[in-house]
Chains A and B, each alone.
Chain A
Amino acid sequence: MKRYLTLFIATFSSLLSISQVLPEIELGVKGVVSANIGINSAGVSSAVSDFSDSQILLGFRQKLYNKWRGQMVFGMQFPDADSDLGQIFYNHVFIQIEDQKNIIKIGRSSTRTILNEFPTLRDDDALYFNYSLNPFSIGSNTQDNQYGNVIEYTRIFAQRYWLSFHGENFSNLSKPENFELNSFGFAFLYIVPESQRWNREVLQRLGFSYNNYVSDDAGYEGFDRYLKNILGTVTLNLLPDPVHLIDFKFQGIYNIGLAGVDSVKSYSDYVRTPSMATFATLRYLYRKLERPLLQLSVGVGFKSFDLLPDSKQGILISNVFYRIGENFDIGFQYRYTQNSAELADIFPASAHRFQFSFVYSVNQIFNKHFDDRNSILNLEHKYIN
């Protein structure tokens, strides 16, 4: 009956020909295409064109009758070819309502498994070092760790302090029909708004988070059921110069792990055993004519396992991007990973990967008729609803 009533109201409204307020329409496009050459102990492999991580986002936003704003975002992404996710993965399907200091989000979206944005060609290039890993995943794709069905509330204090409480339903292939919350946690971040980056403050971001995965493994009760991850991050502008910018980013993830998981024979063990992952990047950005022109970065990561002192992982990732037109870059990235012999069941001992890429990213808002929370006018000259 309720369903029919809803349909009736919708039909009735359209019959009245009530003109609708045209929403803001946001279009985000990121095309990442690379030619890859990989070398590891198994030999040499290559991919002529890897377009994974390419995506398109479509957002609709408008003011509500009070001081709040409502938004619907729909996004799709091309996952890795062997990801078991099909040709297209719908990485964003959510609704968000917000005012100056509050944000409520519900739907499929990015999860709080990373606290920073690192300068890598694709977001998941250093996944095992800079993401808190989904313990319900079998490790066949990276999206399981990056996206989930989320419900999240964020409160913003003094324009820069973001406190979030969140719950997620992460993909769980063993229970595909289960949509209950299987994770929850909170995050607290200090973030300098993008529009104020030329205030040239050294500290740009600082924060930590606590993620709690509710394990469904047999034999665990009470607090022991929770796979607990603690994340911490910082971004420093070492040379906060508008022409020659150098910044440093760091993130550490301490996985407290589940009791009793003291070997790494499978991916399931890998994400459950206590570990410490660190990842840091140093980036140089040259901006000509007030636009980025050249970016060089180098990143290193290290992962150790508390109960397995001989098991270690390392990563070196370095890239260069050159802007050949507005929003259009060509780039080269080299990645080297090394894994100790105890991890041989999961990872190759070492691997080199060379990638030559084009990246095209567009972000446009059409019919823009209200301001962002983080605009200079709203931040520095009083907020207008």
Chain B
Amino acid sequence: MKRKDFLRYSAMGMAGLAMFPANVFSKESIRANQTLFPERLPYTKAGEWKEFEVSIAIAIQELAPAMKIHTLAFNGQVPGPEIRVKAGDKVRVIFKNESELNHTIHWHGIYVPWRMDGVPYVTQMPVMPGKEFVYEFIAEPYGTHFYHCHWGTLLHMQSGMFGSVIIEEDEDPVMKQFPYEREYTLIYSAHDVNFIREELNGMLERMKERSYLMKNGRFDPERFNLFDTKEELLAAIDNGYQPPYLFNRRSSAQLPVPNWFTVNGKSYPSTPNLYIKSGENIRVRLINAGTENHHLHLHGHDFWMVCDDGVPLPQPWQRNTVSLSPGKTYDIIIEGKNRGIWTFHDHDTRRVTNNGLYPGGNLLALIYEDLPVEERMVSSIGKMKMQEGRSMNLLPKVALDE
């Protein structure tokens, strides 16, 4: 090989390493993979309260290499940081709105006091730009839950406003039955990136106007499309007001059609992998914070479904595919019984695409760390002659167009 070819291939190899580790078994790869799971949010003690700080702002998220979108990110992260507490803890979340849009936080699956439920105009007023709201609740029930924005929910959730809430117990019923040391949180979502961009721009523009009027005390129910009662709305319609969902006002009648599918805010080949060792149990917490059904299938294994919406199942189910519908959480236990590199993906294969191109989306892998070196190689590639100096023997590859 010529020297310049060597340098070129080395550089290409390094680029591949950064994108999808050429050696997924290296310590560096395993360490880097850990950053692809929700970061635990630290708290401070304020008397008997565990106090968390959460803020929201617009950020840029890279879904896959070279594919960036504007998102709404809790603490600059998509998904937002993980709030992990013990059952019975007193939890205080100080929510700061650093964006120019309205927001709330809804605590999905948690027994919060009703005025902490985060539904705008039903349980609280929206948290307006630059404002703060303090959520307080007792952490219950046990299990895997999540939080998300409940303002402009269709847009704000697929824009990235979701994060996990894990409520633990000292005597964890799952760990008791399936002892484990490692666990992973996977939050699924689906995004119509064109819808996100157009709607975010529209909302931001409207909010510039509305914020000015609100600051000047010039609230007008019709302009803000906000009425105290249904009777007030009907009276306004009688007087000529036309709701924005009519065809002669604002509605475009276009519902979002997701074209990107993420796990923890990333699409293949940026998705996280699940590492396991032979004989090890790992717990995987599955959360669907998106709008699509995901039929998650693990190759080469059955797994145990141990919790449904956080509730421990009296009799775990042995399955290889689980249907994770919007708003749902499942906890599964995977037993390390069949070493290799196994795909874990949505079997509705429309969801393992990036902008319509397979492979992509929520495709990820279960990787045995103790896979012998000789089993990481392709057995034979026949008589195919590949590019000079490039080995095609090592698995896995980063394939973007199969």
Contacts and interface: CB of A to CB of B under 8 A. Distances in A.
B174 interface: no
Interface string A355-372: 000000000000011010
A371 B201 contact: yes
B194 A242 contact: no
A16 interface: no
A377 B209 contact: no
Contact of A195 (B70, B201, B213): B201
Nearest to B203: A376
Interface string B209-252: 10011000010001100000000000000000110100011000
The size bracket of the interface on B is 20 to 34
Contact of B223 (A288, A376, A382, A384): A288
Contacts of A384: 60, 68-70
A289 B222 contact: yes
A381 B242 CA distance: 33
A310 interface: no
B223 A289 contact: yes
Contacts of A200: 212
Contact of A376 (B194, B201, B242): B201
Interface in A261-278: none
Given A198-B205, A243-B218, A371-B197, A381 B212 contact: no
Nearest to B223: A289
B395 interface: no
Contacts of B205: 195, 198, 376
Interface string B49-66: 000000000111000000
A326 B251 CA distance: 11
Given A377-B201, A382-B60, A242 B68 contact: no
Given A198-B212, A243-B213, A381 B58 contact: yes
A290 B70 contact: no
A14 interface: no
B198 A368 contact: yes
A198 to B, nearest CB: 4
Nearest to A371: B197
A199 interface: yes
A379 B218 CA distance: 28
Interface in A283-304: 288-291
B204 interface: yes
Interface in A305-362: 325-326
A72 to B, nearest CB: 21
A49 interface: no
Nearest to B195: A368
Interface of A: 195-196, 198-200, 242-243, 288-291, 325-326, 368-369, 371, 375-377, 380-382, 384
Given A195-B201, A288-B222, A326-B248, 10 more contacts: A196-B208, A198-B212, A199-B208, A289-B222, A289-B249, A368-B194, A376-B208, A381-B59, A381-B70, A384-B69
Interface of B: 58-60, 68-70, 194, 197-198, 200-201, 204-206, 208-209, 212-213, 218, 222-223, 241-242, 244, 248-249
26 contacts: A195-B201, A198-B205, A199-B208, A242-B209, A242-B212, A242-B213, A243-B223, A288-B223, A289-B222, A289-B223, A289-B241, A290-B209, A326-B248, A369-B194, A371-B197, A375-B197, A376-B201, A376-B204, A376-B205, A376-B208, A377-B58, A377-B200, A381-B59, A381-B70, A384-B60, A384-B70
